[in-house]
Structure 1
């Protein structure tokens, strides 16, 4: 009997599961969100399908961690928008339907990260407080404002881990110094740099995205930030 041909999202879910097995995280539950830069320099990546593929690749992580198999989504430039959840039912045209064709979203302006970060915190801490940890993937293609450091430091007592992903060829000076930031209860943020995320295979991407989340979970439990 021939095995059924798996869809792209099913293949990616399988790759995520393998990564979680290696990291002894297969039974971990978490809420998952993605924050996507929509400043002017990101326009080509929305146009060529890169952002759509990123949503699908991150959704595969959410399908394992989140009981509802859904991915919370934000976009931001100098303003931010909290969008409908991405799921296996709507992901295939998510960027066109909910971002590019959404006239309520401010698009392709300047970047300003703290307001959207504060909204992420507000959603998970004030609106939907839970015992579950939160895993945020933050996609950015250029320099971030330095004041994100204060937001990250203040959020170190919250059950939120920030995984920043730099794409493109900026120097990402602020994000590169996240691991050495002082004044935090736990190290609650990590940064990886991918010049061209399209050429990074799923196995490598998931291994790098999930590299520091396990150690944060252990430390956050020791500090009683999460159960």
Structure 2
């Protein structure tokens, strides 16, 4: 029996756990939503990757995608000061995605500092810029990634209007705060992103004192939620209950 087949029952169980929460939220058949994962790969997160916790977290996100994305896929990014846009995660690479595409990928820059805005801008452009523009950006970024292993450290401009109306849900995981100049970019970017059908679930892991900025911006914006977790080492049911909030479900219903 292949490794993929061994993993499939666990993925199905996770998808079932998502369904339980959706039923509690009175959203048993959610509309199609594209799911994205943005994963902090700064120096302080190294242990989370090497211990397998980020792999487990990404696998849980794939359980969410099974219920929201029409293909059960997750578009995935890692970020430090810059970012890398990774191959799309699918049920076929459940259980091995982080090892194969992150830990064993020598071209990714890892274990640096932390900036949120550059990767956030790329996510918006990936989902909502016109078909021609993202390809040009991807080719340009690919060239620099081969040289430096990262995307630009400054946020790219957002499209003036969304090129499509397919909603996107971003699961944004970080274990530390970003510097003050980046916070100014992030606040503006998140405010500007209200014109796109995108919801940001900001997940702060570890010391709660690190996340005052994220907590505040989530309070102010209807398309941004914040979740603090002391640890990612909790049950599937606990993390799904906290991620699939009433606010998010109301947002999805309105799309």
Q: TM-score, normalised by structure 2?
A: 0.79
Q: Does residue 197 of structure 2 align to residue 137 of structure 1?
A: no
Q: Which SS does the other structure have where 1:146 is aligned?
A: helix
Find runs of 4+ consecutive structure 1 residues off by over 4 angstroms: none
Count of matched residue pairs: 211
Q: Does residue 95 of structure 2 align to residue 61 of structure 1?
A: no
Q: Within 2, Cα distance between the matches of 1:20 and 1:120?
A: 25
The residue that corresponds to 1:178 in the other structure is 217
The residue that corresponds to 1:106 in the other structure is 109
The residue that corresponds to 1:146 in the other structure is 183
Q: Within 2, Cα distance between the matches of 1:90 and 1:180?
A: 35
Q: Which SS does the other structure have where 2:91 is aligned?
A: coil
Q: Within 2, Cα distance between the matches of 1:180 and 1:12?
A: 29
Q: Within 2, Cα distance between the matches of 1:98 and 1:127?
A: 27
1:187-206 to structure 2, matched below 5 A, reads 187-198=222-233, 200-206=234-240
Q: Report deviation, 1:86.
A: 1.1
Q: Within 1, Cα distance between the matches of 2:46 and 2:117?
A: 21
Q: Does residue 56 of structure 2 align to residue 19 of structure 1?
A: no
| Structure 1 or 2: more helix by fraction | 2
Contact 1:142 1:170 (C-alpha < 8 Å) held by counterparts = no
Structure 1 residue runs of 5 or longer lacking an equivalent are: 1-5
Q: Report deviation, 1:104.
A: 1.6
The one of 10, 16, 20 equivalent to 1:8 is 10
Contact 2:208 2:228 (C-alpha < 8 Å) held by counterparts = no
Q: Deviations over 1:43-97 (max 9, x none)?
A: 0000100000001000000011011110110000011001011111012111111
The residue that corresponds to 2:142 in the other structure is none
Contact 2:219 2:225 (C-alpha < 8 Å) held by counterparts = no
The residue that corresponds to 2:141 in the other structure is none
Q: Report deviation, 1:26.
A: 2.5
Q: Report deviation, 1:201.
A: 1.3
Which shows bigger deviation, 19-28 or 202-211?
A: 19-28
Q: Which SS does the other structure have where 1:152 is aligned?
A: helix
The residue that corresponds to 2:40 in the other structure is 37
Q: TM-score, normalised by structure 1?
A: 0.88
Q: Within 1, Cα distance between the matches of 2:130 and 2:58?
A: 24
Structure 2 residue runs of 5 or longer lacking an equivalent are: 1-7, 132-162
Which shows bigger deviation, 44-53 or 121-130?
A: 121-130
C-alpha RMSD of matched pairs (Å): 1.7
Which shows bigger deviation, 60-69 or 123-132?
A: 123-132
Contact 1:188 1:216 (C-alpha < 8 Å) held by counterparts = yes
